[in-house]
Amino acid sequence: MTTAKKEDIPLNDQEIVYRFQQMREAQMAYTQKIAELQGDIEEHRIVVETLSKTPKDRKCFRLVGDVLMERTVAEILPAVEQNKAQIEMMHKQLSTKLEEHNKQLTAFQEKHKIRVRN
């Protein structure tokens, strides 16, 4: 008994359109999440820039989940910088995934001769 790959099974027109729509929706979801992360990175950059100019012993507040925490700038600044670094890493990973997804989408589109009408 032979096993056929998922890509080798011929698709009918409806299946092709459905799969293409799913791929486009995933592409939009990646793009939206990347844009959201870019906004978060910018917000963190502004906070880091502002706190860097502030005396280290000054009291400041940080919202963690639903809890407002009172700490000093010296305690909060490293945490904000770490969060920013993690967000930047997620942004980079999602950008890489989006590039891979775009290649797959283009290959699928060319394979099935799909043209998008605007």
Spatial separation of the C-alpha atoms in residues 57 and 75, rounded to whole Å? 9
Q: What is the pLDDT of residues 9-56, one digit of tens each?
A: 778 889 999 999 999 999 999 999 999 999 999 999 999 999 999 999
Beta bridge partners of 64: 67
Looking at residue 3, its pLDDT comes to: 53
**What pTM was estimated for this model as a whole?**
0.84
Looking at residue 9, its pLDDT comes to: 74
Q: What is the pLDDT of residues 72-102, one digit of tens each?
A: 999 999 999 999 999 999 999 999 999 999 9
Mean pLDDT of 98-109: 96
Looking at residue 105, its pLDDT comes to: 96
CA distances to 10, 70, 98, 103, 117 from 22, in Å: 18, 45, 14, 15, 17
Looking at residue 4, its pLDDT comes to: 52
User: Rounded to 5, what percent of the chain is helix, strand, coil?
Assistant: 65, 10, 25
Which residue did the predictor score with more confidence, 5 or 100?
100
Looking at residue 10, its pLDDT comes to: 77
* Residue 72 and residue 56 in contact, taking contact as beta carbons nearer than 8 Å: yes
Burial 23-40 (b: 16+ CB within 10 A, else e): beeeeeebeeebeebeeb
Residue 45 dihedral angles phi and psi, to the nearest 5°: -60, -45
